[in-house]
Structure 1
């Protein structure tokens, strides 16, 4: 049976000593609602529940809410999360519902971590707006709203604040608003939330920042960095993704020049990185996931100033799947063969090893391009549960050895691929776009991204 809760304690504008407020938060008298129970939201709700003992998770998906409320974990691939959710639901610290308005009316801290999608290179804030307006409908004076969703800079100032004011009839200052960006990775979310990286908080005013710092001082064991305002915190999160996209774009562009250089570009990058100020990323067949490929559009599409560097990096990274297929064409041609007459296999559809996520994945793009040009195409991925692209046949690791292949493309460096008995294939050409394999140990021609094998 879930414990009965007394009148909620509100932290924003509270006159009690800060130590008393911290005890209230960790003692369960500050009810929390977490809106969004996806891959990042459910781990966050679980950590909040473990610390505060009084969390309601909210999700529009009835199956998700029902599963969590029953102690089940609909998010896969997160070590420790299923047993954590089961324990927290059993002891009454965590519950779940689809009723956002009722949850907002009961909570005094509201944490929004719903996705920000990009459609036609434009950020789509409709999901965020729906969640925020639901919060606003139940908002009381003294409540605090925390946005963890990644958003374009100025979203809290120009959109979230006005949405909350319009729905609640309150003015900012009567309630708190802070932006505290999610800084986690799939497959390690619980660990990241509890302290792998410093937590960034930015408030719409000083009191909002104070409350956010208080809350996250309990949530994380890492340093809490308080910045000037919500917009600065929003920029921090977006800049992290922009840095990686631009850096990877540099590495990828250098890789496309390896043939003209006549050198192994990755070797040169590795040695260049021995200089302390140099940190060039590794090249690859593209950039995938729900973050890095999209964040540039939070700036490119939202602001008037020209952004040629961001746009160029995006162009380079979006071109890499095509470059990988062109490399396959050249590798086959070197053996006197044609892609149009070949049977190809793409090893890896997920964007990251060991993570079941195919959003913007280069492996999917490579498979689609090969399906348009090769005679037949297989896809092999030990963790992916999504269907392969049209024209591509899914084959298990155990089955692929029995297929007659002309071409193998390593698009994702799953650990399982190192153990593939490559000698079982006859007359195979391998394109290792992740540079995972030891070319000397594979008894077939191996072309690795950026190795200078297409020297001109």
Structure 2
């Protein structure tokens, strides 16, 4: 840390004028701890460091801590983060540690951005967040400010984290600040998002907490800061954003499955409908993945007694899309006279999103599993992913994009449209003299619809 302990300034219940509070915050006299240096946490810590010049980052992974302290960025695929981490470390603005309790003793603002888990029954698991809160409580002092950016089920700050902080610190709720500021960042654009691609939303457990959070994020972002009524409202904002997308995608997927019965390309109808400003239907696809959308609806479905029929149905609809996409392939193989148990199938795109090396809840995994279950030989291909263990464990053979055209297949299933697939001559993958079944989960290979040697079937498109 760059500031001696006797130089530390507290912002919660401060007697300083607001302008002076902002000044000391950006001068480094209000040391900041950022707990969690993962894909969203390290970019956040780096922006805090460039803003204040005095940040201690905390992570349980010693290798992450060592990398950061060497000025190296362990997070791949984030433009600008390499240089920002290096500059902050060289300038002494950012240092990383594994001991959260020690950091908590030395900082005045505590920012938590660690994963909120979901257990095997889809129930929210706050164990990681609570563990970090306990570390913070061990060093919490009067006037400190705690901000949670980890996505939380609404009422978590009020009902669980505040009592934990009070109990473990021995402080009364009136002696420290607590606010929620939903993380609104996406992999591959985290720095831009943190710096102000979208307004920041803040809500505290009391008015003073909201005021301090608004002051802090007013310096961090180039966009607006929106104060809401309380921490629970702010928690709901992030969950509602995810729920909206899940329900909207489910609507698109359900409409997409009507394509053949309607005899139309539902995707075209959606695009035309969306020219009306009150209509914003998403695009149907092979499934929904990532660490956000598939999980956040459960923060309401599993947490509260109020029925959530719409959200439950949306989850069920989206969770069925990998099986639906697989059935498109299996039906096409059977119609071509190829037993699925004797078929060679290439699955293209394994990550949950293009360009991002992450497979959490990726629809590609259940698609590979379903194909393997019926006896198909599955070749999995992805130019972005560096660890294929999960796909090998369910029976897939892994091949590189550059060697894909050395093989022939009965069917190709596109799940995630990585840029490198544009260079693949998909038609060359067919059996000599035969026809290639192409199942397009993202409407990326529509140029093959009229090819005589291709049986093209797209999600949301009329066969």
Helix, strand or coil: the match of 2:47? helix
Helix, strand or coil: the match of 1:146? strand
Gaps of 5+ in 2: none
Q: Which deviates more from structure 2 when the two are superposed, residues 135-144 or residues 397-406?
A: 397-406
Deviation at 1:4, TM superposition (A): 5.0
**Alignment-derived partner of residue 125 in structure 1:** 126
Deviation at 1:171, TM superposition (A): 1.1
**Alignment-derived partner of residue 407 in structure 1:** 411
Checking the alignment, whether the CA contact within 8 Å between 1:36 and 1:57 is kept in structure 2 is yes
Q: Distance in 1 between matches of 2:328 and 2:352?
A: 20
Helix, strand or coil: the match of 1:401? helix
Paired residue for 2:424, among 417, 420, 427? Answer: 420
Query: Which deviations, in whole Å up to 9, do the C-alpha atoms of 1:42-86 show, x marking residues without a partner?
Result: 000000000000000001111111211221111111111111101
Q: Distance in 1 between matches of 2:65 and 2:123?
A: 29
Helix, strand or coil: the match of 1:430? strand
In the alignment, structure 1 residue 430 sits paired with structure 2 residue 441: no
In the alignment, structure 1 residue 439 sits paired with structure 2 residue 448: yes
**Alignment-derived partner of residue 204 in structure 1:** 205
Q: Distance in 1 between matches of 2:270 and 2:49?
A: 44
In the alignment, structure 1 residue 322 sits paired with structure 2 residue 326: no
Q: Residues 443-454 of structure 1 correspond to what in structure 2 (within 5 A)? A: 443-453=453-463
**Alignment-derived partner of residue 7 in structure 2:** 7
Checking the alignment, whether the CA contact within 8 Å between 1:428 and 1:444 is kept in structure 2 is yes
Q: Distance in 2 between matches of 1:362 and 1:333?
A: 23
Q: Distance in 2 between matches of 1:338 and 1:431?
A: 17
Checking the alignment, whether the CA contact within 8 Å between 2:51 and 2:219 is kept in structure 1 is yes
Paired residue for 2:396, among 382, 392, 395? Answer: 392
Q: Distance in 2 between matches of 1:385 and 1:227?
A: 41
Checking the alignment, whether the CA contact within 8 Å between 1:418 and 1:436 is kept in structure 2 is no
Q: Which deviates more from structure 2 when the two are superposed, residues 384-393 or residues 83-92?
A: 384-393
Gaps of 5+ in 1: none
Helix, strand or coil: the match of 1:445? strand
Query: Which deviations, in whole Å up to 9, do the C-alpha atoms of 1:100-156 show, x marking residues without a partner?
Result: 011000000000001001112111100000000110110000000000000100000
Q: Residues 32-431 of structure 1 correspond to what in structure 2 (within 5 A)? A: 32-119=32-119, 120-387=121-388, 388-389=390-391, 390=393, 391-426=395-430, 427-431=435-439
Dislocated runs of 4+, deviation >4 Å: 440-443
Q: Which deviates more from structure 2 when the two are superposed, residues 73-82 or residues 232-241?
A: 73-82
Q: Distance in 1 between matches of 2:209 and 2:381?
A: 49
Q: Which deviates more from structure 2 when the two are superposed, residues 443-452 or residues 32-41?
A: 443-452
Q: Residues 9-24 of structure 1 correspond to what in structure 2 (within 5 A)? A: 9-24=9-24
Q: Distance in 2 between matches of 1:416 and 1:329?
A: 26
Q: Distance in 1 between matches of 2:400 and 2:84?
A: 32
Deviation at 1:374, TM superposition (A): 3.8
Q: Distance in 2 between matches of 1:55 and 1:73?
A: 16
Q: Distance in 2 between matches of 1:48 and 1:3?
A: 14
Q: Distance in 1 between matches of 2:161 and 2:462?
A: 50
Query: Which deviations, in whole Å up to 9, do the C-alpha atoms of 1:241-287 show, x marking residues without a partner?
Result: 00000000011111112121111111111111111111100001111
Q: Distance in 1 between matches of 2:24 and 2:31?
A: 10
TM-score of the superposition, structure 2-length normalised? Answer: 0.96
Checking the alignment, whether the CA contact within 8 Å between 2:78 and 2:189 is kept in structure 1 is yes
Helix, strand or coil: the match of 1:39? coil
CA distance 1:4–1:135, shift in 2 (3 Å): closer
Q: Which deviates more from structure 2 when the two are superposed, residues 31-40 or residues 386-395?
A: 386-395
Checking the alignment, whether the CA contact within 8 Å between 2:137 and 2:169 is kept in structure 1 is yes
Checking the alignment, whether the CA contact within 8 Å between 1:350 and 1:364 is kept in structure 2 is no
Checking the alignment, whether the CA contact within 8 Å between 1:358 and 1:386 is kept in structure 2 is no
Deviation at 1:377, TM superposition (A): 0.5
Q: Distance in 1 between matches of 2:228 and 2:87?
A: 35
Helix, strand or coil: the match of 2:175? coil
* RMSD (Å) for aligned C-alpha atoms: 1.2
